[in-house]
Chains A and B, each alone.
Chain A
């Protein structure tokens, strides 16, 4: 659990509770072994790269398999 994300000390996150969240580029954890699972409250366990990949997979699946019209 400890190597999932390394965001807890990011000032951006703590201060970012106001305003818009535009992008997390530059502060994303990479190269962490991960898998989709439920932990904590209910969270995908993995690096943010993995989270991004799962989101892309979900949308690709919809675009590919849901009828266009």
Chain B
């Protein structure tokens, strides 16, 4: 993905506020922690989350983006990849999803709790995300990803397994492409014309 494609797939409101802004930094931490907390509670587990770990995650994201892309306004897919990598690198959630309510097969994956929470978070974020399609350098259409990413159980398992095994940000670009492909698959017409 080039810088040009980054510009085209950047959410219009994205990066209005960067991590240097303490106010929005706090919101990012709170939203991420709240989402994680509710995932646990929904399956009947009372979590004890550590704030500091969520701060590390939010702090890591700009570094991961800087290391892997020169774009000033990376696409939502690259942001999803950066957040996923930052989350797994820190793995803030220690308690496994050990619950009768939760699918046993998923719970057998090592570090499944972190992989599932961050994948679900990104999937929700990408739902209704929008970006500007361009032709010959000119904006032509604002596209909204109206449909949420849907996957088969097989693919979901493999995706969680792959995410849970991320060790470094070497997988950044493939992960970003994966999010992009999943979003395009769910939203016909969202991608650029497939001519090649």
Interface residues of A (CB under 8 A from B): 1, 4-5, 7-8, 13-14, 16-24, 28, 35-45, 48, 51-52, 54-60, 62-63, 65-69
A8 to B181, CA, bound (A): 36
Contact A58 B39 (CB under 8 A): yes
Cβ of A51 to closest chain B Cβ, rounded Å: 5
Task: Please classify how large the interface on chain B is, using the bins under 10, 10 to 19, 20 to 34, 35 or more.
Answer: 35 or more
Partner among A17, A52, A60, A63 whose Cβ is within 8 Å of the Cβ of B34: A52
Dominant SS among interface residues on chain B: helix
Q: Is the CB of A16 within 8 A of B51?
A: yes
- Report Cα–Cα, A31/B177, bound state, in Å: 36
CA distance A52 to B79 in the complex (A): 21
CA distance A56 to B35 in the complex (A): 9
Q: Which of B25-49 contact A (CB under 8 A)?
A: 26-39, 42-43, 48-49
